[in-house]
Amino acid sequence: MVKQKSKTVEKVKSVLKFGGSCLKDSSSILKAALIIKNRKEKVAVVVSALQGITDLLLDAYYKSLSQNKNYRGTLDYIRQKHLVLASELLSLQRFGKATEIFSGIFDNLDRLLQGISLVGETSPGLKARVLSSGERLSAFLLALVFEETGRKARVYESDRIGLVVDRQSEEAEVNLQKFDKNFLWVRQEIEAGSFLPVFTGYFGCTEDGQVALLGRNGSDYSAAVLARGLQAETLITFKDVAGFLTADPSIVAQAALIPVLSRTESAELSYFGAKILHPKVWEPISDRKITVEIRNYEQPEISGTTITRNPVRCKNIIKSFSINRDISVLRIEGPGVGYKPGIIGQIGSRLSEKEINILTVLTSQTCINLILNQTAAEQAREIIIKLKEPAIRKLTIENDLALIACVGTGVRETPGIADRIFSILARNKINLEFFSSGASEVAIYLIVKNKDALETIRALHREHFQKKTADERAESNPHSSGDTFVT
Ligand code: ASP
Ligand code: MG
């Protein structure tokens, strides 16, 4: 009797996500493949398109929509780029396989763009099909490069694995309940297999099977959804930087890496400007213990920022200052707006129907201030005018503002934090336009004129992290070790 070999089932421990910034040329793609190979635990991979490819696809898409034949040139460039990388990275046999797979993807793209350009019309589903090609190309490329190390890989295109979204949109949300059910067979197949699963980031599909996008830079979000589906313990996103910093290094040269952040802190930082991690990452794993790490793909063994579920307090309370320089305030005035029940809800739902995102709201009895991105402010004003709400007497927009989020666990309940911020601004003669504290457990928001924004963030960073004021020096204990940034 032949004894049947029992199948080993092993869970994926870590999901590794590679962004476009670490898939840009042959040496970075090779590094990614080696990072994957060197992991000791069972892993799954999620990729973005190669650096710059989504922008090029978007360019080809708009050219074809405006019936400009030059879209073909852009497409040729994308094809060439992938073929050259494949020829540099793959053996002859695998190069043959790559050209076959790429031909399929490019034939499809050709047909799509030709069709769009013929009729000069499109649909969100068509646009999503065009843009999703970048991730399909990079996933197959990376999978084949990984196979050069002697192991097997399998690509899962995310419109074919039940990554179902709620509605067709360029910023669709994954329907997690349906995903959990649909994804079961994929998880089981992966747990029973001994291949590397490589998933495409950035898109899923609607229930009727149309490709739908998850928003620009949405592969982080995809990676979180997949980490949930695979029941992984860790999600590591590889970038060309090691993680979150105390400020944007292009503004503050002394900005330093933050080793540990809580999920809420990182969401505040992402939401208001830090481009390190997509703020939607937290939704799919809100009920999971998954630890999220950011690492620099150039130094994969060194930990960058680790993001934990629990709050972590640092001595200085504030861990980082993030900045968004594209801010407008839409002021909605009227003697009764503050006590008119439901008015904010009514405005909010109208704006969200049009996909206008309100960053934050500051209210008083006679005035509601909506904080928005500049282009959204104009659109929001038009929508609110159409509401014809009698309580609203005046609508004004103030442009050219910047919002600075001072983020750290404890900002709300630690006495003296706001006071300290005010005195830094006063000492540096910076006028504060708006101030909001208490809305978030972990953030204080300041709004200043855009022309003062850089000086504000430099002054805050300098005085908070780098030096003590003369007063503080005089007050402090001469034996203390100084006010250094520790977590
Ligand atoms: N490739 C997509 C973009 O560039 C998604 C991503 O990078 O995460 O937006
Ligand atoms: Mg990208």
pLDDT tens, residue by residue, 128-140: 999 999 999 999 9
Q: Inform me whether the pLDDT recorded for 466 exceeds 80.
A: no
- Closest by CA position to 129, among listed 167, 157, 97: 157
Which tens digits make up the pLDDT trace of 23-62?
A: 999 999 999 999 999 999 999 999 999 999 999 999 999 9
C-alpha pair distances (Å), 442 with each of 57, 342, 357, 372, 476: 38, 27, 21, 20, 26
Q: Are 316 and 464 in contact (CB under 8 A)?
A: yes
Which tens digits make up the pLDDT trace of 192-211?
A: 999 999 999 999 999 999 99
For residues 345 and 482, which has the higher predicted lDDT (pLDDT)?
345
Residue 441: the pLDDT is 84
Q: CA-to-CA distance for 317 and 346, rounded, in angstroms? A: 36
Query: How far, in Å, is the centroid of ligand 2 from the Cα of 309?
Result: 26
For the chain, the average pLDDT equals: 91
Which tens digits make up the pLDDT trace of 351-370?
A: 988 889 888 888 888 999 99
> Going from the N-terminus, what domains does the chain have, and what CATH number goes with each?
26-229 (3.40.1160.10), 320-475 (3.30.2130.10)
Residue 481: the pLDDT is 34
Query: How far, in Å, is the centroid of ligand 2 from the Cα of 19?
Result: 6
Residue of the nearest CA to atom 8 in ligand 1? 217
Q: Are 383 and 356 in contact (CB under 8 A)?
A: yes
Query: How far, in Å, is the centroid of ligand 2 from the Cα of 111?
Result: 24
Q: Inform me whether the pLDDT recorded for 142 exceeds 80.
A: yes
Q: Which ligand is the nearest neighbour of the Cα of 218?
A: 1
User: Strand, helix or coil at 51?
Assistant: coil
Which tens digits make up the pLDDT trace of 259-273?
A: 999 999 999 888 776
Query: How far, in Å, is the centroid of ligand 1 from the Cα of 211?
Result: 15
Q: CA-to-CA distance for 324 and 45, rounded, in angstroms? A: 31
Q: CA-to-CA distance for 258 and 247, rounded, in angstroms? A: 10
Residue 467: the pLDDT is 64
* Sign of the C-alpha dihedral computed for residues 284, 290, 294 and 298 taken in this order: negative
Q: Are 314 and 343 in contact (CB under 8 A)?
A: no
Testing ligand 1's pocket by substitution, the residue of 219, 220, 222 carrying the most ligand atoms inside 8 A of its CB is: 219
CA angle 208/213/219 to nearest 5° reads 130
Q: Which ligand is the nearest neighbour of the Cα of 203?
A: 1
Neighbouring residues of 21: CB distance < 8 A, sequence distance ≥ 6: 51, 239, 240
Residue of the nearest CA to atom 6 in ligand 1? 217
Q: Is the CB of 48 inside a 6 Å radius of any atom of ligand 1? A: yes
Q: Are 268 and 217 in contact (CB under 8 A)?
A: no
Query: How far, in Å, is the centroid of ligand 2 from the Cα of 51?
Result: 6
Q: Could you give the residue ranges of the DSSP H alpha helices within 193-254?
A: 219-230
